[in-house]
Amino acid sequence: MADKQDLIIGEDGLARCFWAGPQADYIVYHDEEWGFPVDSDTRLFEKICLEGFQSGLSWYTILSKRENFRKAFHGFDITKVAAMDEDDVERLVLDAGIIRHRGKIKSTINNANRALELIEEQGSLAKYFWGYEPKDRAPVTSRAEVPATTDVSTAMSKDLKKRGWSFVGPTTAYAFMQAMGLVNDHLVGCFVYEKVEEAKANFKRP
């Protein structure tokens, strides 16, 4: 079981990871999204891009603007994002609904083009990313055991950078792995931990 100080008990009496909340939408994200395995190329692309935007900021800042990001980047349709140009960059730099970081906006467009190349080579982003799922990883029981990076996330980062992706450092790669279910970093004792384990057991790897 996780150390009780690393779990929070909600008004519903359920134990959650230390970072869940207090905002209602953050709790929903923790309970229903984070850590559950994903095989949708669109969602995988969205997440790797949003993790890049998150660099230097809190994830909740990005989550609270996620719908604005989706509107700005065509629902993270990879082909549509890849076709965006400098006029789109200038427009989005002025969009107060997102993070107005020119480098990260341009990175998203670049990464869409690199994603199309990866899909052409591998068949899907899902097949590529799930190739980095760690094997025999021990569950985490305290926040101190949750790493910021791992050898696997570092390897993913290096390979993506070699392929021309940007804003995909080892920390960004590991946060992506956590969110998309390649690892289950819900603490043992969090009520979602077993749900994610069950979802991963039933998940068909690409």
Residues forming the active site:
29, 51, 59
Pinpoint the alpha helices (H) of 57-169.
59-63, 66-72, 78-82, 86-93, 102-122, 125-130, 151-162
Q: How far apart are CA 183 and CA 104, in angstroms?
A: 26
Task: Please tell me the distance from the alpha carbon of residue 177 to that of residue 47, in angstroms, as a whole number.
Answer: 10
Distance CA 86, CA 162 (A): 24
d(CA 150, CA 152): 5
Say if residues 16 and 30 touch (Cβ distance below 8 Å): yes
Distances (CA, A) of 31 to 3, 16, 147: 19, 8, 21
The closest of 20, 43, 35 to 179, measured between CA atoms, is: 35
Strands in 39-145 per DSSP E: none
**CA pair distance 178, 163, nearest whole angstrom:** 22
Pick from 174, 93, 186: nearest CA to 139: 186
